[in-house]
Amino acid sequence: MKFYSTNNTSSRVSFKEAVFNSMPQDKGLYMPVTIPRLDDKFINNLDSYTLPEIAFHVAQNLLGDDIPADDLKTIINDAINFYAPIVKLEEDVYVLELFHGPSLAFKDFGARFMSRIMSYFLEEGEKQLDILVATSGDTGGAVALGFLGVPNTRVTILYPKGKVSDIQELQLTTNGQNIRALEIDGTFDDCQALVKQAFTDDELNAKYRLTSANSINIARLIPQTFYYFNAYAQALKQGKNKIVFSVPSGNFGNIGAGLLAWKMGLPVEQFIAATNANDTVPQFLKSGVYQPKPSVATLSNAMDVGNPSNWVRIADMFKDDMSQLNKLITGYSFDDEETTKAINAVYNHYKYVVCPHTAIAWQALKDYQQDVPTDEAAGIFLSTAHPCKFPDVFSDEIASHIDTPAQVKELHAKTKKSVALGKDFEAFKDYLLNNA
Active site (catalytic) residues: 107
* 258-282 burial code (b ≥16 CB/10 A, e <16): bbbbbebbbebbbbbbbbbbbbbbb
47-52 LR contacts (CB < 8 Å, sep 24+): 47/233, 47/234, 47/236, 47/237, 49/233, 51/80, 51/83, 51/84, 51/226, 51/227, 51/230, 52/76, 52/77, 52/80
Cα distances from 185 to residues 85, 165, 294, 412, in angstroms, run 38, 15, 15, 24
Q: Are strands 153-160 and 268-275 parallel, antiparallel or unpaired?
A: unpaired
Query: What are the residues whose beta carbons fall under 8 Å from the beta carbon of 21, sequence distance 6 or more?
Result: 13, 211
CA atoms of 358 and 428, how far apart (whole Å): 33
Strand 93-97 and strand 86-90: the pairing is antiparallel
Cβ contact 313:221 at 8 Å: yes
Spell out the residues 6+ positions from residue 426 whose beta carbon is closer than 8 angstroms to its own: none
Residues with Cβ within 8 Å of residue 145, at least 6 apart in sequence: 102, 103, 108, 111, 171, 175
Phi, psi of 175 (to 5 degrees): -90, -40
Q: What is the CA radius of gyration of the chain?
A: 20
